[in-house]
């Protein structure tokens, strides 16, 4: 995010321009914790059960999102050329692809993923460039979510 105009913009102007308040993006562990960007807890072998549960749920959620975008990118090749410097247009194109995909499913036009599987690593950086400082509000938000997920009966 730091090398994109959006990352710069969010750092200086806040995230409200790009997504609703009290929401956040999920990032991989290479990214810093921000109020608008929550990575998993770093695991050096000392995480307690609640943080392990948070990381597991975080990972499962990211896998669903990444698989969904992989499926959409294979069916609608235009998504491979969406640039993040115009988030409004990128969101419109993505939404249009979702609508078309759902329409195809309603019409029993299933996409044969056997011939379309490609490895797409474009959204999973090994190391995030730029700022690596965690922010206290982001850390507190992640801790609050972790505490909620650890309550009895929540996502057992």
What is the pLDDT at residue 51?
A: 97
Whole-prediction pTM value?
Answer: 0.74
Token pair of 29 as six digits: 């562990």
Average pLDDT over residues 6-10: 79
What is the pLDDT at residue 103?
A: 92
Runs of H (alpha helix) within the chain: 5-13, 49-75, 87-106, 136-149
pLDDT confidence band for 156 (50 / 70 / 90): confident
pLDDT tens profile 75-127: 888 788 777 667 778 888 889 989 998 999 898 887 665 444 454 444 444 44
């Amino acid at each position: 995010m730091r090398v994109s105009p959006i990352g710069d913009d969010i750092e200086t102007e806040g995230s409200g321009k790009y997504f609703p308040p009290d929401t956040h993006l999920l990032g991989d562990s290479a990214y810093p914790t921000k109020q608008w960007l929550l990575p998993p807890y770093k695991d050096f072998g000392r995480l307690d059960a609640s943080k392990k549960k948070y990381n597991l749920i975080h990972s499962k959620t990211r896998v669903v999102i990444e698989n969904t975008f992989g499926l959409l990118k294979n069916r609608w090749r235009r998504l491979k050329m969406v640039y993040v410097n115009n988030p409004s247009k990128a969101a419109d194109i993505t939404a249009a692809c979702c609508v078309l995909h759902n329409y195809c499913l309603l019409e029993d036009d299933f996409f044969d993923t056997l011939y379309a599987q490609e490895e797409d690593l474009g959204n999973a950086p090994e190391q995030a460039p730029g700022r690596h400082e965690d922010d206290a509000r982001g850390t507190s938000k992640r801790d609050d979510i972790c505490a909620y997920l650890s309550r009895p009966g929540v996502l057992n």
